[in-house]
Amino acid sequence: MSFYELQCPSEWADPPSTWSSTTLDDVEACPRRWQLLRSRWGEHTKFPVRPNPAAAEGQIVHDALDRLTRACGQHGNPAFGSPEFANAAADADFFPGFTRAVTEWQQQLTAHPKPGPPFRLRVTAEELANRAVRLFREQYRPNGRHTSQPAERATEKMVDVMMLLRQKRALSEVKLKHPTLSFLGALDRVQVATDGVEIVDFKTGRPDEKHHHQLLRYAVLWWRTTGELPVRLSAQYLDGAASWPVAQGELLEIEAEIAARIPALTEELRDRPAKAAPGLGCQRCPVRARCSAGWANAEEAALADGRGDAELVVTMRPGDHGFLARSRAGAEVSVVYETAVAKLLPALDKGHVLRVLDGVWREKRSQLELKAWTEVFYVRK
């Protein structure tokens, strides 16, 4: 049976054995999405996500900016164009990273189970690099930053991380595990300030309260591993920073929350399927076509912003260039495609129910064009 016919995983993912801050947030946001993405689907060890070109390009630029932001923070935020900045860019594998990422995306797209004409990213690695440099230059403000000296990368086999910090004054990529909970984290940077230890996380996006929450979890890890309470937590953005003082009572609350959430979320992930949490996240959820609880949300959101997600009943047998169908709202939709795209369609017949992802609406939404990246999932034959 093809991937597009499978209605549920062939092997369900188990709950994670160790949890990071991101895992906690992801499972909390929607246990079902976490589970379906990591389950086996036929020959695929996990759900084979197929991004459209714009999403793939955006992800490459975002990942590169993320790497460069962290590397700059770890190098003490050097001025743009300085020799130390060049070292940070080299550490981040900034420019070579684009060529590698484009090649990897291309391989991933080629290996994807969807048949039909292949599509390539619309821009070159060089164009993506230029886009990332422009965004970085617009936002990077290195003056007056929280980190102004290079940090030493912490080793994997640290025996006494506190002693190492006292020697080096600043450490980067500090991997810590809670002594009693199945919880771990990698701290971007820990440094000795005049008033005590400061934990810094580097972020490319806009300030968000969830960054503070993540830093509090890191503070719990640092406190429980070293016995030393950090004095300050800082989220450093490209154009500024936000800082918060640390209180022991607050860390105790966060630790209690982690201790309660891990077993509760583990239980939720034992259900098959796990509980769905429909909401804003359904809009771009990669597994929305396989989630009965979130599909209506996803389809409505797509309609509102003009994206071509639709559940359709085939009303006329497909030809080389299209077929007629009925939407869930009862409207007639003519589905059109180029001959080469016809190959991507599963065998369709009158009465079959489909979910189309990432088509393109035309003619005031009476026509849905299937593109090379569009996916067509069977719901019922």
List of residues contacting ligand SF4 (CB under 6 A): 30, 32-33, 276-278, 281-282, 285, 287-288, 291, 293-294, 298
- The answer to whether the CB of 196 falls within 8 A of the CB of 162 is no
**Residue 254 vs 379, nearer CB to ligand SF4:** 379
**Residue 234 vs 283, nearer CB to ligand SF4:** 283
- CB 32 to ligand SF4: min, Å: 4
**Residue 76 vs 308, nearer CB to ligand SF4:** 308
| β-pair type (322-327, 332-336) | antiparallel
SS3 content of the chain, % helix, strand, coil (to 5): 40, 20, 35
- Cis preceding-peptide flag for 273 (omega within 30 of 0): yes
**Residue 135 vs 296, nearer CB to ligand SF4:** 296
- Using CA atoms, how far apart are residues 362 and 192, in angstroms rounded to an integer? 59
- CB 13 to ligand SF4: min, Å: 13
- CB 39 to ligand SF4: min, Å: 12
- The letter for the amino acid at 94 is F
**Residue 88 vs 276, nearer CB to ligand SF4:** 276
Tell me whether residue 235 is exposed, middle or buried, using C-beta atoms within 10 angstroms of its C-beta: 0 to 12, 13 to 18, 19 or more.
buried
- CB 268 to ligand SF4: min, Å: 12
**Which residue's Cβ lies closest to ligand SF4?**
294
- CB 118 to ligand SF4: min, Å: 27
DSSP letter assigned to residue 319: -
Contacts of 364 (CB under 8 A, 6+ apart): none
